[in-house]
Structure 1
Amino acid sequence: MSGAILLLPVYLWLILLSPFFYTPPDYLPAVEDRMHRVFAFGTLKQPWVRFIVTGHAGETKDAVLPGKRREGLNIIADPSAQTPGLVFEVNGRQLARLDRYERLGVRYERVKMTLDDGSQAWVYRRLQTP
């Protein structure tokens, strides 16, 4: 059991922070060095996940994404639906770490969407398979 506990930090480093196991596609633009708003509807709603990924759990605010429905790990268009979640701010470096966690360009894309209060935030959405 203690061996598993010792391996957990190594596993988290390999998956979340190391240069191994994820290479962002060349076509992705550089992350701007400024503050970014992110809408979370899944695992990133958990403060401990945000802390492990970005180094900062940060303050959150309840938010709703209109016209979208959560389906498993994804959100899909549904004009009659609303997806509840949280919105939080990150700097450019933290956004790049979120991109790595979400495997931007491999598993997810990051798109700007309008929340129910009229503000915009980045949302991670599953890439469609051909």
Structure 2
Amino acid sequence: MVWLKRCLLGSTLVALSIAVWLWLTMLSPWFYERPSHLPDIEQRSHQVFVYGTLRYAPVRWVVMYASGNPTKATLEGYERTNLDLTPNQEAHVDGLLLEVTPNQLARLDRYERLGIRYERVKQTLADGTTAWVYVRLPSLSRLRLPSPDYQAALVP
């Protein structure tokens, strides 16, 4: 009986931890503020190509409160590298095309940390459809370092 109580307590703590993490990352007013330099979202329906976690219906329901009416889609000329897309003329990325409202696009922007972790760019898919695609922003390791003269000026 003690084992069952511990198991239930452990399961409850895990479920609560997941719920708190989801709330903090997707719904809370903390940890993400849309950068002011980003343009406002146009008040119309949008097409979005997804190739990672958003391919899974439960994730889309938690993020957007909707499925997005997914259809299979392909982005040619790119390959998936971890959480990013890398240009490769001989490759393609399979994913889903979603139809989203402006509010749902804003929720996707929050989930992808638009302007902080990802940028949203227009791409033409294999069938000729134009859709938004989230592409990782350059990491700090890939940013150009200041010139040696600048670095020397910092050393006393």
In 2, Cα distance between equivalents of 1:42 and 1:7? 23
What TM-score, normalized to structure 2?
0.80
- Report the secondary structure of 1:62's partner residue: strand
Aligned residue number for residue 17 of structure 1:
27
In 2, Cα distance between equivalents of 1:6 and 1:73? 27
Are residues 1:86 and 2:96 paired?
Answer: yes
What does residue range 1-130 of structure 1 map to in structure 2 within 5 Å? 1=10, 2-129=12-139, 130=143
Q: CA deviation at 1:27?
A: 0.5
Give the ranges of 4+ consecutive aligned residues of structure 1 lying more than 3 Å apart after TM superposition. none
- Report the secondary structure of 1:116's partner residue: coil
Structure 1, unmatched stretches of 5+, are none
Residue identity matched to 1:104: L
Residue identity matched to 1:22: Y
- Report the secondary structure of 2:107's partner residue: helix
Whose Rg is larger?
Answer: 2
In 1, Cα distance between equivalents of 2:62 and 2:97? 17
Q: Which has the higher contact order (CA 8 A, sep 6+)?
A: 1
- Report the secondary structure of 2:95's partner residue: strand
RMSD of aligned C-alpha atoms?
1.0
Count of aligned residue pairs for this structure pair? 130
In 2, Cα distance between equivalents of 1:14 and 1:58? 23
In 1, Cα distance between equivalents of 2:18 and 2:82? 26
- Report the secondary structure of 1:27's partner residue: coil
Residue identity matched to 1:84: D
State, as a whole percentage, how many aligned pairs show the same letter: 48
Residue identity matched to 1:30: D
- Give a deviation string over 1:53-75, Cα, whole Å, max 9, x none: 00012321111001011100000
Structure 2, unmatched stretches of 5+, are 1-9, 144-156
Q: Which moved more, 1:24-33 or 1:111-120?
A: 24-33
- Structure ranking higher in strand proportion: 1
In 1, Cα distance between equivalents of 2:81 and 2:16? 35
